[in-house]
């Protein structure tokens, strides 16, 4: 890379000279990305190519909603993105692990300062933008992790017979999809881990966006003289982090079990999703046994763990282990 000695300037002052930052490279779903900010749509299109994407469409959509909102913090009225935006976001993503390590020893409201410390020469950039950049990086990290797993499932299919698999992908996509689905079912533990990690990382990125919004509000208030520095801000941020953590625990099933709560509503939704999935499977395999039915349901998005699925199948009259079924069907 040529050693160009010029600086990039914007409304908030000098940031880095061209030779002070490593050239950014990033690969997502076999697609090379050179500017995270400019190629958000390219990244969305790339992950959509995965065979299992339809079942994870909402997951990716959620993460990209965070990414797009975080990117909006860098918009300047009538000018598009700030001239510093691309470099800050790229570098924040590249340094995300180091930022995370240092955050473990810092208070919630000091996140922008931690990002500044890691990146260097960004003192003039508002805290709201620094926080938004880290939210962008966190959400994209979740996207990459999920996309990598989906890609690995497909690669495992190719390992069986690369030439035949590629032929099927091009000439019989429906059968190729079936092969990928079967391969997916061989690693339910890994899928559960990926889903849990993805949910946690996206939830964390949402909390950081809330932090960015608080910083933006305080920046506006300070500039207009309606807020004094160091007033209620740290307490408000700690409260948000506590509330979000409690909410996530409640929605994960640790809250109360009264009818009408998110936990109970979630159970009802999973039961209905299970019912719909059973109907789809039985159209193809009308004589399927209960154990085979359970195996096919495990891993389907949003219907729960093996125990939850089994419980719902019993309520639907589709799982009775003490009774031997008279007919049998394909697995």
| CA-based torsion, 35, 39, 40, 43: positive or negative | negative
Q: Both 102 and 40 in a single domain?
A: yes
272 and 249, same domain (yes or no):
no
Print the domain residue range for 44.
8-254
User: For each of the chain's 331 residues, which pLDDT tens digit applies?
Assistant: 333 322 223 333 334 444 444 567 788 988 999 889 999 999 999 999 999 999 999 999 999 999 999 999 999 877 788 888 999 999 999 999 889 888 877 766 688 899 999 998 776 889 999 999 999 999 999 999 999 999 999 988 888 788 888 888 888 888 888 899 999 998 888 899 999 999 999 999 999 999 999 888 888 877 776 655 555 455 555 555 554 444 444 434 433 344 443 444 556 667 777 887 787 777 777 778 777 787 778 756 567 777 678 778 888 887 654 333 333 333 3
As for how many domains the chain has, the answer is 2
Q: Is residue 223 domain-resident?
A: yes
State how far the alpha carbon of 53 is from the alpha carbons of 48, 56, 227, 273, in Å.
6, 5, 46, 18
| One domain for residues 202 and 296 | no
pLDDT in tens, 31-40: 999 889 999 9
* Domain match, 50 and 193 both: yes
Asked, for residue 324, whether it belongs to a domain, the answer is no
Same domain? 74 vs 160? yes
Q: What is the pLDDT of residues 53-93, one digit of tens each?
A: 999 999 999 999 999 999 999 998 777 888 889 999 999 99
> Residue 309: inside a domain, yes or no?
yes
Query: Does residue 294 share a domain with residue 198?
Result: no
Same domain, 144 and 47: yes
Six-digit token pair at 44? 């969305």
N- to C-terminal Cα separation, the chain: 56
Helices assigned H by DSSP within 250-300: 262-284, 290-297
Is the same domain home to 142 and 225?
yes
Q: Does 178 lie in the same domain as 274? A: no
Distance between CA atoms of residues 48 and 194, nearest Å: 18
Q: Can you tell me the distance from the alpha carbon of 277 to that of 200, in angstroms, rounded to the nearest whole number?
A: 26
Q: Could you give the CA distance from residue 284 to residue 264 in angstroms, rounded to a whole number? A: 31
Q: What CA–CA distance (Å, rounded) separates 2 from 77? A: 33
């Amino acid at each position: 890379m040529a050693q160009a000695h010029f600086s990039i300037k914007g409304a908030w002052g000098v940031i880095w000279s061209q030779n002070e930052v490593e050239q950014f490279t990033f690969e997502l779903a076999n697609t090379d990305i050179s500017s995270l900010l400019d190629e958000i749509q390219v990244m969305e299109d790339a992950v959509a190519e995965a065979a299992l994407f339809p079942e994870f469409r909402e997951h990716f959509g959620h993460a990209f909603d965070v990414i797009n909102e975080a990117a909006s913090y860098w918009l300047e009225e009538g000018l598009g993105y700030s001239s510093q935006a691309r470099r800050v976001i790229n570098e924040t993503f590249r340094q995300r692990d180091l930022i995370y390590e240092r955050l473990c020893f810092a208070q919630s409201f000091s996140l922008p300062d931690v990002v500044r410390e890691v990146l260097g020469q960004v003192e003039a950039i508002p805290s709201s933008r620094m926080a938004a950049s880290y939210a962008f990086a966190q959400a994209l990290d979740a996207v990459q992790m999920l996309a990598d797993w989906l890609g690995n499932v497909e690669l495992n299919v190719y390992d069986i017979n690369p030439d035949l698999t590629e032929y099927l992908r091009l000439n019989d996509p429906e059968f190729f999809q079936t092969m990928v689905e079967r391969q997916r079912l061989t690693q339910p533990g890994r899928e559960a881990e990926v889903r849990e990690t993805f949910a946690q990382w996206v939830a964390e990125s949402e909390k950081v966006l809330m932090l960015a919004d608080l910083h933006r509000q305080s920046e506006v208030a300070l500039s207009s003289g309606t807020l004094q520095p160091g007033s209620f801000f740290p307490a408000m941020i700690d409260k948000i982090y506590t509330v979000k953590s409690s909410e996530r625990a409640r929605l994960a099933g640790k809250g109360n079990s009264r009818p009408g709560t998110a936990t109970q509503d979630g159970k009802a939704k999973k039961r209905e999703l299970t019912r719909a999935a059973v109907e789809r499977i039985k159209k193809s395999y009308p004589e399927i046994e209960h154990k085979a039915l359970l195996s096919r349901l495990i891993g389907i998005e949003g219907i729960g763990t093996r125990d939850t699925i089994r419980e719902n199948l019993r309520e639907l009259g589709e799982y009775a282990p003490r009774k031997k079924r008279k007919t049998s069907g394909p697995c």
